[in-house]
Each structure stands twice: as structure tokens, then as C-alpha cells.
Amino acid sequence: MIRRASSGAAFLLCLTSLCLTLAGCWNLREPEDMAHVLAVAFDLDEKHDLFKVYAQVANPPALAGEGVSESGSARSASGGKPFWTVSARGHTPLEAMRNLVPLSTKELFWSHASLLVISEKLARKGILPIVDTFERDRQLRMIARPVVCEGDVGSLMEAEFPLEKAGAEGLLHGVTAVARQRSVFPTMFLSEAVATLSEPGIEMVIGRVEVLSGELKTTSSRSGLPKPPVKFSGAAVFRKDRMVGWLNEREVRGWHWLMGRVSGSNLILTVPGAEGSPLTVEVSAASVKVEPLVKGDNVRMKVTVKTEGRIQDVAAPEHLAMEGETIKSLKRRLAQVIRNDMEAAISKAQALRSDIFGFGSSIYRTRYNDWKRLEKRWEEIFTAIPVELNVRADIRRSGLIAEPPSAR
Amino acid sequence: MSCISTEKIDNRQLLFILFIMRTTVIISTLPVLTAGNAAQDAWASALVSYVGSAILATAIGALGTRFPDLTLIQYGQKLIGRTPAKILSFVYLWAFLWVAAVDLRIYSEVLVTAFFPATPLVFIAGAMAVASAYAAYAGIEAIGRNADFVFPIFFMTILASLLAAIPQMRLTRLQPVLARGLKPVLVGSITPMTITLQVPVITVIAPSVLRPKKVVKTTIWALTGAHLVLTAASLATVGVLGAKPAARSVFPFFRMIRAIRLTEFLERFEALVILPWGLGMFIGLSTSLYCCLKGLSQVFDLSDYRPLVGPMAAICITLSIHAAADIFQLRSFFRPETAGPYAFLLMLAPPAVLWPAYLARRWMRKRPGSRKGGRQR
């Protein structure tokens, strides 16, 4: 009996000691004392050679709804916004983040920062310090979406979106929504960008968020319509961890074709027989095969893209006769448009000396010995690499009508 | 001896214990990636280390099947005499304690690094050691039943974490396959093989198993399962993070799961990895402690090991704190060139002495008297 009682006591002791760890022990925190950072941005203070950090912090009372707006002081203090953007400087990214602490009434909690904004200045100087901070920190996560900001980072972090409560939410939704329909913005997780950064023979591309005007309130323009604060399009091209230039919308689309990442895009063709009158073809997926052809020092790339689209609108319906020959011609035109996209992207990348398509990586992965030989001169080789572009584009559907509408 | 020797566990329970012990440790640091330089070929290292581990396990366990009712400490005394066998037994007793301490340290490091930066290491190690010591006190039967209970949770959570990785895996990150020759693969397989240092627990547990002659087979099945998980985990980790970012991680599998996001609401799956780690650590630590204590009681001819539980737990906690000054020491210890010789020496010393003794005795006995079976029963 006594043994039973003592083992029971020991058992209870164990259970109790385990319970202590549940509360977080020395790291006990009350949710009321914490403020969640929704988005984090890094900029460079060139004058003092410091990192500048912006944190957009959620303001839960204001996020919750309107009841607070009358009585709650939180809303008025943050200028009526459901979020609060605060910034600080530091010698390292983390020091900058910690320098926010004396400015905040609550403990900043970084685990929910789902957007990482990098200023153009910092991107051009190199983003490795930011990557290091993100990889090391136990709160920051690699599931954040990285973007490069063209324009003032502060106004981007202050931006309010017509359809969203918090600015960061708007940015995050924008980044993911554009990927679904347009393929003009490389949407990815930070983990993907970092994996690319450490892989041989491929350079990083990070999407661009363009700040549309200096004053980013959703004030009415002269027409009385609210202006969109930012635009998600284009991309920053990197060489190693340094940004070297921008891709425009069309070049990013070319990059999407070459990477097999197209997940929705609309392309303008001209109607055969009625030059100058456009029609839209919508593409929802594409596959790509990149084959390196290496003979000694002679390197060529063979790219085969397969896709299919559907006619989604015709601006001059009266001129379009839906018959075998026209469809064939349209397919050829679609293929040409796609080829033009890719050519634009390739020539920009070659001008920037940055192998963003992973041509080198395709050699590294499939012809390791050739890669060992070419690796050192790859940047040079890439700038002049001939790329054979084969596109097989089909047009199989024409929306809900087969014939164009006609007026008598 | 007292009631302890009548404790019995099923071979299935032993299989679960060994599988959980091994998987917990190899998943936590993914040594195929973090030790050595196998990079994207880590999965191949996992397979090579499976073959090596199976051979080692056979070398360690096979002699025990000749003495199904005896532990290594007991049959060692029959083979090479009382005192030499007792001294030799200390090699494995040290191995049990050392494995327990290092496992405990790795587990505490995970929690301190990723969750409780301000909590003293000793508190986390202590909480786990106290719980495990209690299980060791309750005996191998209790540990076996615990393993029965833990295994489904352990297996399902690991499986779920592997499945969650699939959408973000890029198979191209696993290329080029075996391009740098076999050397990195072989070197990368050494450290996971050293974790076979856990396997000597079968030399103490075997007499308590229902079918002791099948212990080696059970062990190899456990290794098969553990290495399949290791292979899948290294594929998933490299596929999601890329070879280099994975290799520079302290806990690659944990970092992989942190980088997974399925939808806006399905993210932050760390629990899927931390839960089985905690459960697995508990099973592993209690088994190691039990074997160390049981062995110790046999060496000193004690009737019961239980009075030793408390002191041993204290020693284990202390050792886990002092096993390495920092994470860099811990990491450099697990490099193939340091961990390899040390662990292989510990693992193989007892069989290297006992096998020749056993064979010599059998040969001797056959020659003059030719009595079949002899006294070994």
C-alpha cells in the first residue's frame, strides 16, 4: 500500500512537472501584452550605413469592427487605421527590429509576418543579411512572401487598400491573386527564393510592388474614384544576392513560360485577315522542357513549351471566320506571341548577365561533368547562349459561343 | 532474482521501442545531411547506412540468441569469466548512459533553440529525465506498453508531416543524382550508422522478450522502418529547402516543416514534428535508462535496480548538460571522423571479445567430450 502511494505521488510529480512546460516556463507571455507584426520591410539608411526596418502591426480593436471607433482610443491613436506602421534603424536587421521595442507599448511578435518587403536600395546592396536573419530567427518564417518595393517603402507599409482591413493583408492578397490570373508577378515563398539563391546555375527573381504615388491615402482622384495604392507587376532580377535590374510585365511573363510557372495569362493576337483588330486568348497552364545541348564549349539550349488557350474575346467579330485555316493561323500567332515573350525575357536577362531561367542549373543537374567545366565562365557563356524556342500552342475552345456575334 | 526478471514484452513492443528510439534521433538532426557532405544525395546515405546498421545490429545481437535467457552481462560471465565480463559490460553501460545523455541534450536543444530561449536547459532536460526515470522505474513491461500507445501517434504525425511537404517539394533540387561519386554518400552514412549505438539495449532486453531468438530479426525490422522514414525525410527536406539550406540547418526536418504552408489556414505544422520528438524521446530515454540500470544491477549482483533510478537520472541530466559546451561542439562531434571511431569502438568492443570466446569454447567442447549443447543452456 505504501509503495503504491509513493509511486502514485511520484507519478503526480511527473505530471505536474510536465504541466509547467506547457505554460512556457520562463517564456511565459500573455496574449494581451503582445502585438502581431503582419508585414516587415527592410530598407537601407545609406547616410549612416544602417538597416532600417518597418513593421506593420495589427491593431486588433480596430480590426475587429466599428463599435470601437466611437469609444476606443486605440483607433484614434493609430489614426483610425486597423494597423500601425513603425520603423527604426540598426546596425544589423535584428538590432533594427529590437530598436522598435522602445517605441511600442506591446511586445512585438514576429511569427505572423507573412510578407517581407525589401527596398530597391537594399536589394541592390545585397539581401544576404536579411536572409540570414530570417533563417536564424525562431519567430520569422520562410513562408513569408518576399517582394521588392519600387518607390518609398514607408508609404508602401502605410498603404490602405479599398477592399482590405490591414495593409499587409492587402499586399499579401494582391501578391497571391495576381499569380492566379496574370503571370506577371513571380509569387513565391521566401524558402523558394533562398533555395534558388544557394543553387548553382540559377539566379533569383523576386516580384516587384510598385508604389503608385507619393501620397498613398486612398484619396479620391479628380474622377472621384479611389486610386489603387500599389501595383503588383514585374520583378527584380538578382545576380547572387544583389539586385541588378527590373523585368517588365512582358518579360516576367516570358520568365513564367520558360520556368513552366504560367498559371493563367491572357495574350493579345491579331485577327488573321484583319490586321490591327485584336482578339484575346486566355491560357491557364503550360508545361516546359529545357534541354541543354553541350558540345565542348559550344552550349545551346532547347526549350519546348506546350500550352493551350481559349478565345476569350474578339474585338472585331465581323472579321473572324471560325474555320480550319483561321484556327491554324491563330495557333501560329499564339505560338509567336509566346515566343516573343520569351525572347524579350531572355535578351533582358542576358543584358543583365543573370541566368534567371536556370539554364546553368539544367546543365548542373543533368550533365554534372560539363557543369564543372563551364561553371567558372557561366556568366560569360550565358550572355551569348543561343536558345532554340519551340512552342506548341493549341486553341481548343472559344468560350461559350463558337461563332462570333453578328449584326444581321 | 526478484519479480523484475519475470517481466515480459512482446517482440512487437521491442520493435516499436527500437523504431521510435532510432527515428526520433535521426529525424531530429538528419545526420545524413548535417554531418558529412552528401547534400542532395542524403537519401542514398540513408540507404547505405541502413545496410551498415543492419550488419552492426546483427553483430551486436546474434550472440544473445545463443543465450536466450541471459543478458550480455550474464552470458559474458559464462564466456570469459566473472571479472573480465563485468569490466567489459561497462562499455555498453557507458554507451546506454551516453546515448541517453546525448539524446536528451539534442531534445533540449530543439526546445531551447526554437521555443523556450529563456528557459534553462537543465529544466527541460530535467523534466524529460524525471518522466523517463519514472518509466524506467516501472520496468520494461511498462515501457513496452507505452511504446504500444505512442507508436500510432508517433507514426501518424511523422507521416502527416511528410505528406504535408509534398506540394512544396521540387524534385529538381535532388539532382544531380550521385554525380560526385560514392565517397560523399559513404562518408555521409557513417554518422547515422553511429546511432546504432542505441541497439545494444537489445542485449539487456532480450531475456525479457517473449521470443528472444527472434530479437535480431525484430531489430532489423525496426531499422528498416526507421531508415525508410529517414530516407523519406531527407528527400522531403532537400526537396523543400534545397540541399544547401537544409545542410546548414541545425534541425533540418524541423526547418522544413516550418517552411510548409498549404493554405492560408493550414500552416505552422511544427506540432507534427515536436509531438513525436517529445514522445519518442520519452520512450528512448526510458529504455536507455532502464537498460543501464538493469545492467548495473547485474554487474554488482544487486537484487533490484530500482534504488539506482534517482541517482542515474541525476547523472544523466548532468552528463547531458556537460556533453557539449555549445551547439557547435555538438555538431562537430557528430562529424563522421569523430563520432564514427568513438561509436564503432563502443558498439563493437563487447562482441569483438565475446564472439571469439564463444567460438573457442564451442570448438574446445566439440573436440574432447563432444557433448552436444553443453552447459550453455
pLDDT, tens only, B176-204:
888 888 888 888 888 888 888 888 988 88
Given this model, what pLDDT does residue A208 score? 92
Give residue A203's pLDDT.
Answer: 92
- Any idea which residue has 544487486 for its cell? B302
H-only helix segments in chain B: 11-29, 31-34, 42-66, 72-80, 82-114, 121-138, 140-165, 183-194, 201-205, 215-241, 243-247, 252-258, 270-299, 309-322, 327-333, 336-366
Task: Decide if pLDDT at A225 tops 90.
Answer: no
* pLDDT in the model for residue B3: 43
Residue-level pLDDT at A223:
57
Q: Which of B127, B241, B248 sits opposite A21 (nearest CB)?
A: B127
For range A382-386, the mean pLDDT: 90
Candidates B172, B182, B237, B273, partner chain A, best to mutate (most A CBs within 10 A)? B172
Q: How far apart are CA B296 and CA B303, in angstroms?
A: 11
Judging contacts by C-beta atoms under 8 Å, the chain B residues touching residue A13 are 130
Beta carbons of B259 and A141 less than 8 Å apart: yes
Q: How far is CA A100 from CA A108, A110, A147, in A?
A: 8, 12, 22
Tell me how far apart the alpha carbons of residues A75 and A69 are, in angstroms, rounded to a whole number.
6
Cα angle, residue B50 at apex, residues B47 and B54 outer, rounded to 5°: 155
Q: What is the pLDDT of residue A224?
A: 61
pLDDT in tens, A166-187: 888 888 888 888 888 888 888 8
Average pLDDT rounded to a whole number, residues A9-27: 71
Report the percent of chain B where pLDDT is more than 90: 24
Helix (H) or strand (E) holding A293: strand A278-295
* Per-residue pLDDT at B161 exceeds 70: yes
Does the pLDDT value for residue B19 go beyond 90? yes
| Per-residue pLDDT at B373 | 47
Q: How far A388 CA sits from the closest chain B CA (Å)? A: 22
Cell reading at B29: 538532426
Quote the pLDDT of residue A53: 92
Instruction: Please choose, from the candidates B210, B182, B146, the residue with its C-alpha nearest in 3D space to the C-alpha of residue B44.
Output: B182
Chain B positions touching A240 (Cβ under 8 A) are none
Q: Up-side HSE of residue B200: CA atoms within 13 Å toward CB?
A: 31
Neighbouring residues of B291: CB distance < 8 A, sequence distance ≥ 6 = B96, B200, B201, B204, B205
Give residue for cell 545490429: B57
Residue A70's pLDDT is: 45
pLDDT of residue A242: 92
pLDDT given for residue B352 in this prediction: 87
Residue B163 Cα distances to B157, B227, B264, angstroms = 10, 17, 17
3 state SS of A109: strand
* Interface check B304 vs A, CB under 8 A: no
Contacts of A71 (CB under 8 A, 6+ apart): none
- pLDDT band for position A344 (cuts 50, 70, 90): very high
Residue from A6, A14, A112, A136 whose CB has the most chain B CBs within 10 Å, to mutate: A14
Q: Is pLDDT at A67 greater than 70 in this prediction?
A: no
* pLDDT of B286 over the 90 cut: yes
Domains of chain B: 3-354 (1.20.1740.10)
For chain B, the straight-line distance linking the first and the last C-alpha, in angstroms and rounded, comes to 18
pLDDT band per the 50, 70, 90 thresholds, residue B31: confident
Q: How far is it between the farthest Cα atoms of chain A?
A: 103
Q: Which of B172, B179, B238 is nearest to A289 (CA)?
A: B172
- Which of 8-67 (B) contact A at CB < 8 A? none
Q: How confident is the model at residue A216 (pLDDT cuts 50, 70, 90)?
A: very low
Of the candidates A250, A153, A160, A128, the one whose C-alpha atom is nearest the C-alpha of residue A209 is: A153
The confidence score (pLDDT) of residue A165 equals 82
What is the CATH superfamily name and number for domain A253-408? Nutrient germinant receptor protein C, domain 3 (3.30.300.210)
**pLDDT per residue as tens digits for the range B245-260:** 888 888 888 889 888 8
Confirm if B295 and B204 have CB atoms less than 8 A apart.
yes
What's the average model confidence in pLDDT over A294-310?
Answer: 88
Confirm or reject contact between B180 and chain A (CB < 8 A): yes
The answer on pLDDT for B225 being more than 90 is: yes
> Which sequence spans correspond to the domains of chain A?
253-408
> Higher confidence at residue B265 or residue A257?
A257
Q: Residue B46 and residue B192: Cα distance in Å, rounded? A: 7
Report the pLDDT value the prediction gives residue B282, as an integer from 0 to 100: 92
Q: How many CB pairs under 8 A join A and B?
A: 91
**Maximum CA pair distance of chain B?**
79
Which pLDDT score, from 0 to 100, does residue A25 have?
61
- Going by pLDDT thresholds of 50, 70 and 90, the confidence category of residue B283 is very high
Q: Is the pLDDT of residue A51 over 70?
A: yes
Asked whether residue B363 carries a pLDDT value surpassing 80, the answer given is yes
Residue of chain A minimizing CA distance to B265: A112
